[in-house]
Structure 1
């Protein structure tokens, strides 16, 4: 039966690999790409020429106004019959900034805006249009563990604070530094897991939501807004780690990602999937009080874009 799957972060990295596997595994799906600039249109045109059912809607996830407009356009097309029923949302886009002082147009810290608030706006604007069974998959990260076993010293661990502070710049010491940017990133991924737990309690029956951790995947473009030195390391040195058990190739991560989206990897709503299997996320990521406080804060922060 024909259905719609929405996807962010589909134009590069393992997200681009996942697109091919999703379309091959679910040929009846109509894939809607949300992307900034011309990248979405170019990918949709390429896939359509190959007989795939793909369309693109412009969306800049740094702008919550843009996210709201994209979600509303999807809703309009579904309501008017241009798109089949909505059965999936794949939120793969994410950013890592090399500081904690970058604001989005709405005045929020940019990492938190993209990795947390944009997803919330998408889900809240579209939640009434999901038909059962549906699956929402949000890309998370083992950076949220904050230990050497998972991060190999490459990323500082999260530092939880009042969500109202996390949503603004300079939440962490020495906010202009790369370390502060890394803390903002790992903390945003912890926040995403908290919200996944809360969504699982609140979404309608038959609408499942889970987090997918691809592991360390060199060359994804996550650091595309970083400086030249960081870009050089990520482009030339880090890919060598894909030859070790410490990392996944883009092909591996994309294939595993698609399996989660298509339901081929068994996972319950609210769960954390590490590459190919459901496991428990960090001990810190199970905290009902934080989950509920974060939900309330995010609801308040995004109200102008969700109501």
Structure 2
């Protein structure tokens, strides 16, 4: 497929300082897109943009470093406010930031199990806060970087923070299932994608070896291209549209998850 010019596009990529997120920024910027580079701290975001310029020859004018620790929902709100003020027209939001659930049950200051908050709740909140900026033009979209492990997950509706029974793999799979379900939320034009097993910090959850983060990022960037027609709410395994877990397609789960997430983030959508 021909590579289209993205010089008129503005994208925000979360978790953009390493791995798939970093390579997604590189590929988008190489095609001319203006990219908001999110990192957990301002120092990490600035260091990533510096590397993109010095190592890959990216035009610094195309990059804007932004910071927010997704383990702190107030920082997510500040991030959204800054984007709305400085970039009121946003074509693409790539919800990529993620973490492996820790060995021990960990709760954020907001009261949420940390992987559920960082991998899903923060993106849910950010997406809805950015609705005024997300374009309704053809090609505008949200791309959730999910995982094939969503198929092993279940959302514990009465105990989403898994206080009663915690497993790091189950907590991670729950967060990825929630992110996949969220793509079917009718309030946003969105898809979710499993970019393949890549050699990132999350590799031990999947296998002993994987493809490069750049190869995984290429599948994400393909879905960011307005020339690529997407099916709203669809799930992609790399370049192929496939059916997600049955739980991710049930209308009842979409509505139930929205209510749960609104409660946990203190946001009324």
What range describes the TM-score normalised by the shorter chain of this pair? 0.7 to 0.9
TM-score by length of 2: 0.86
Q: Whose radius of gyration is greater, 1 or 2? A: 1
Q: Structure 1 regions of 5+ residues with no counterpart?
A: 80-84, 147-157, 224-233, 243-247
1:8-63 CA distance string (max 9 Å, x none): 121111222222211123x1x22111212211111223435632410111111111
Partner-residue secondary structure (3-state), 2:130: helix
Asked if 1:14 is matched to 2:8, the reply is: no
How is 1:116-265 mapped onto 2 (pairs within 5 angstroms)?
116-131=120-135, 132-133=137-138, 134-146=140-152, 158-162=153-157, 165-166=159-160, 168-172=161-165, 175=166, 180-198=167-185, 201-203=186-188, 208-218=189-199, 220-222=200-202, 234=204, 238-239=207-208, 241-242=209-210, 248-263=211-226, 265=228
How is 1:54-133 mapped onto 2 (pairs within 5 angstroms)?
54-79=63-88, 85-99=89-103, 101-131=105-135, 132-133=137-138
Asked if 1:297 is matched to 2:255, the reply is: no
Partner-residue secondary structure (3-state), 1:281: coil
Q: Calculate the aligned-residue CA RMSD, in Å.
A: 2.3
1:265 deviates by 4.8
**Cα separation, partners in 2 of 1:68 and 1:171, compared to 1, 3 Å:** farther
Corresponding residue pairs, total: 256
Residues 58-67 or 40-49, more deviating: 40-49
Other-structure match for 2:4: none
Flag as ranges the 4+ runs of structure 1 deviating above 6 A: none
Other-structure match for 1:226: none
Partner-residue secondary structure (3-state), 2:218: helix
**Cα separation, partners in 2 of 1:252 and 1:191, compared to 1, 3 Å:** same
Contact persistence 1:99–1:182 (CA under 8 A)? no
1:303 deviates by 2.4
Q: Structure 2 regions of 5+ residues with no counterpart?
A: 1-6
Partner-residue secondary structure (3-state), 1:113: helix
Asked if 1:2 is matched to 2:11, the reply is: no
Rounded to whole Å, the distance in 1 between the matches of 2:222 and 2:146 is: 16
Q: Which protein is richer in helix relative to its size?
A: 1
Contact persistence 1:102–1:169 (CA under 8 A)? no
Rounded to whole Å, the distance in 2 between the matches of 1:299 and 1:62 is: 16
TM-score by length of 1: 0.76
Rounded to whole Å, the distance in 2 between the matches of 1:293 and 1:138 is: 19
Residues 186-195 or 38-47, more deviating: 38-47
**Cα separation, partners in 2 of 1:41 and 1:185, compared to 1, 3 Å:** same
Other-structure match for 1:229: none
Rounded to whole Å, the distance in 2 between the matches of 1:47 and 1:296 is: 39
